[in-house]
């Protein structure tokens, strides 16, 4: 275990292993940079409880980025990065996920907590069984895998779909000066983020983009690392839509978007989404992740949906009692609702 009075020191102690293990995976939300930025904005000085777990030959296979999120009325341990992240879990290769999950279960036995709340764990592992917990929430997380490229993917879709992909962009080109701008200028990044946030609010006034200060800082870091993918669609020189995401280890992750409602009839959101996919697969990306959520438009493109799951696992008698009580309360609420 690595622990101590200075969380910043713990991050630095783990940085080399964390970066190497995150690099062996394909999840930008597992990077040291994401976790460190998250901790700066949301850690609040709470105790970090990270673990570095190894294989039989002593090689590190995963970082377990744990922290004590709450002390009362129950001591709750969570994974650093939750909330803004689309996927969390042990940091390492996906091939080692099951072994890392077992390490996680063992590590929790030595952590001072009553409950472990694990947000957005990846599909492919039976987390409730391994952790001895239960599912709080399942969420869709559709992906598009097109190993043969964009054109090969299009050939598997209907003629109507292919017509929409080509026809909507041609219409924009015919009626306007259409330009796709990839944000790559650090000096202009914050101004472009202003545009993104404004377009998101214009489209969804009641929807929360997320913690803007956090995204401003992480976007700058991601741009510096070569991970940021941030597109703005301009019509006649003015921004009409924006797409914000990341590219890490051959995976493109769509995170958030916005568009001008006045341009909805022109399908600017659809055209920009298609452009980002085409650019990604033309660059050799092997997987395009559409993010958490089961919106219908995602399934027009998705080839798979591994999903993510949030699990709560008791860690001792007090936690077990709390889980049973919470389950009983939910059952009672559903019973009363039916009456």
pLDDT tens, position by position, 150-168: 999 999 999 999 999 999 9
- Which carries the bigger pLDDT value, residue 52 or residue 199? 199
- Which carries the bigger pLDDT value, residue 292 or residue 322? 292
Work out the widest C-alpha separation in the chain, in whole angstroms. 67
Pair (200, 318) in one structural domain:
no
Residue 240's pLDDT is 97
Q: What whole-number distance in Å separates Cα of residue 234 and Cα of residue 209?
A: 21
- Which carries the bigger pLDDT value, residue 147 or residue 79? 79
Q: Enter the DSSP assignment of 292.
A: S
Geometric angle at alpha carbon 109, from 103 and 112, rounded to 5°: 125
Q: Which helix (H) or strand (E) holds 68?
A: strand 66-70
Q: What whole-number distance in Å separates Cα of residue 107 and Cα of residue 115?
A: 13
Q: Tell the burial category of 95 from Cβ atoms under 10 Å away from its Cβ (0-12, 13-18, 19+).
A: exposed
Pair (164, 295) in one structural domain:
yes
Pair (100, 124) in one structural domain:
yes
Residue 60's pLDDT is 86
The residue assigned the tokens 């129950």 is 74
Three-state DSSP at 87 gives: coil
**For residue 223, pLDDT beyond 90:** yes
- Which carries the bigger pLDDT value, residue 298 or residue 59? 298
Q: Could you tell me the CATH number of the domain that includes residue 186?
A: 3.40.630.30
Residue 176, both tokens: 């306007």
Strand ranges inside 140-177, DSSP E:
143-145
**For residue 4, pLDDT beyond 70:** no
Residue 124's pLDDT is 84
Pair (294, 201) in one structural domain:
yes
Q: What whole-number distance in Å separates Cα of residue 314 and Cα of residue 108?
A: 10
Instruction: Specify the range with the lowest mean pLDDT, choosing from 90-94, 100-104, 171-175, 271-275.
Output: 100-104
Whether the link from the prior residue into 157 is cis, omega within 30° of 0, is no
**For residue 32, pLDDT beyond 70:** yes
Asked if the structure places residue 163 within a domain, the reply is yes
- Quick one: average pLDDT of 228-232? 98
Asked if the structure places residue 1 within a domain, the reply is no
Asked if the structure places residue 147 within a domain, the reply is yes
Q: Which sign does the torsion angle of CA 79, 81, 85, 90 carry?
A: negative
Instruction: Give the total residue count for the chain.
Output: 339
Asked if the structure places residue 2 within a domain, the reply is no
pTM equals 0.90
How does pLDDT run across 108-161, given as a tens digit for each residue? 888 888 999 999 999 988 999 988 899 999 999 999 998 788 999 999 999 999
Pair (124, 190) in one structural domain:
no
Pair (212, 259) in one structural domain:
yes
Q: Which sign does the torsion angle of CA 221, 258, 285, 88 carry?
A: positive
**Which of 302, 301, 287, 289 has its CA nearest to residue 250?**
287
**Which of 326, 339, 230, 328 has its CA nearest to residue 279?**
230
Strand ranges inside the chain, DSSP E:
51-54, 60-64, 66-70, 76-79, 115-122, 134-139, 143-145, 178-182, 228-235, 238-248, 251-259, 287-289, 308-314
Instruction: Specify the range with the lowest mean pLDDT, choosing from 65-74, 130-139, 227-236, 317-326.
Output: 317-326
Residue 326's pLDDT is 74
Asked if the structure places residue 289 within a domain, the reply is yes
Pair (224, 168) in one structural domain:
yes
Asked if the structure places residue 105 within a domain, the reply is yes
- Which carries the bigger pLDDT value, residue 326 or residue 306? 306
**For residue 7, pLDDT beyond 90:** no
- Quick one: average pLDDT of 7-24? 84
Residue 108's pLDDT is 84
**For residue 182, pLDDT beyond 80:** yes
Pair (35, 124) in one structural domain:
yes
Q: What whole-number distance in Å separates Cα of residue 310 and Cα of residue 321?
A: 19
Q: What is the percentage of the chain residues whose pLDDT exceeds 90?
A: 68
Asked if the structure places residue 328 within a domain, the reply is yes
Q: Are 89 and 99 in contact (CB under 8 A)?
A: no
Q: What whole-number distance in Å separates Cα of residue 67 and Cα of residue 2?
A: 11
Conformation bin of residue 120: beta by default, left when phi > 0, alpha when psi is -120 to 50: left
Residue 228's pLDDT is 98
Q: Enter the DSSP assignment of 304.
A: B
Q: What whole-number distance in Å separates Cα of residue 90 and Cα of residue 243?
A: 28
Pair (266, 147) in one structural domain:
yes
Residue 137's pLDDT is 92
Pair (270, 210) in one structural domain:
yes
Residue 50's pLDDT is 87
CB atoms near residue 263 (< 10 Å): 20
Asked if the structure places residue 134 within a domain, the reply is yes
Pair (36, 135) in one structural domain:
yes
Pair (17, 135) in one structural domain:
yes
Residue 329's pLDDT is 59
- Quick one: average pLDDT of 60-76? 90
Number of domains forming the structure of the chain = 2
Q: What is the percentage of the chain residues whose pLDDT exceeds 70?
A: 91
Range of 268's domain?
Answer: 143-299
Residue 55's pLDDT is 66
Read off the pLDDT band of 269 (50, 70, 90): very high
Q: Are 327 and 149 in contact (CB under 8 A)?
A: no
How does pLDDT run across 279-310, given as a tens digit for each residue? 999 999 999 999 999 999 999 999 999 999 99
């Amino acid at each position: 275990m690595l622990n101590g009075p200075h969380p910043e020191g713990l991050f630095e102690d783990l940085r080399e292993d964390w970066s190497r293990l995150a690099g062996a995976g394909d999840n930008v939300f597992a990077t040291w940079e994401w976790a460190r930025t998250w901790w700066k904005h949301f850690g609040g000085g709470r105790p970090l409880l990270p673990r570095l777990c190894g294989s039989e030959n002593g090689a590190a296979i995963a970082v377990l980025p744990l922290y004590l999120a709450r002390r009362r009325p129950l001591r709750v341990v969570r994974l650093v990065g939750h909330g803004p992240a689309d996927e969390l879990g042990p940091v390492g290769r996906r091939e080692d996920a099951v072994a890392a999950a077992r390490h996680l279960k063992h590590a929790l036995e030595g952590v001072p907590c009553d409950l472990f709340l694990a947000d957005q764990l990846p599909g492919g592992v039976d987390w409730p069984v391994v952790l001895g917990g239960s599912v709080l929430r399942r969420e869709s997380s559709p992906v598009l895998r097109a190993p043969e490229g964009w054109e090969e993917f299009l050939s598997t879709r209907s003629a109507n779909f292919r017509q929409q992909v080509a026809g909507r962009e041609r219409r924009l080109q015919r009626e306007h000066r259409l330009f796709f701008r990839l944000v790559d200028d650090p000096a202009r990044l914050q101004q472009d983020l202003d545009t993104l946030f404004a377009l998101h609010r214009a489209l969804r006034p009641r929807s929360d983009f997320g913690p803007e200060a956090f995204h401003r800082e992480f976007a700058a870091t991601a741009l510096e690392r070569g991970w940021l993918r941030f597109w703005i669609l301009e019509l006649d020189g003015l921004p009409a839509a924006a797409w914000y995401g990341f590219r890490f280890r051959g995976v493109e992750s769509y995170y958030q978007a916005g568009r001008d409602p006045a341009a909805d009839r022109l399908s600017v959101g659809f055209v920009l989404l298609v452009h980002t996919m085409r650019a990604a697969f033309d660059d050799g990306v092997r997987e395009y992740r559409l993010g958490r959520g089961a919106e219908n438009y995602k399934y027009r493109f998705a080839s798979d949906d591994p999903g993510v799951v949030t699990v709560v696992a008791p860690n001792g008698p007090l936690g077990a009692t709390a889980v049973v009580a919470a389950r009983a309360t939910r059952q009672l609420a559903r019973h009363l609702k039916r009456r």
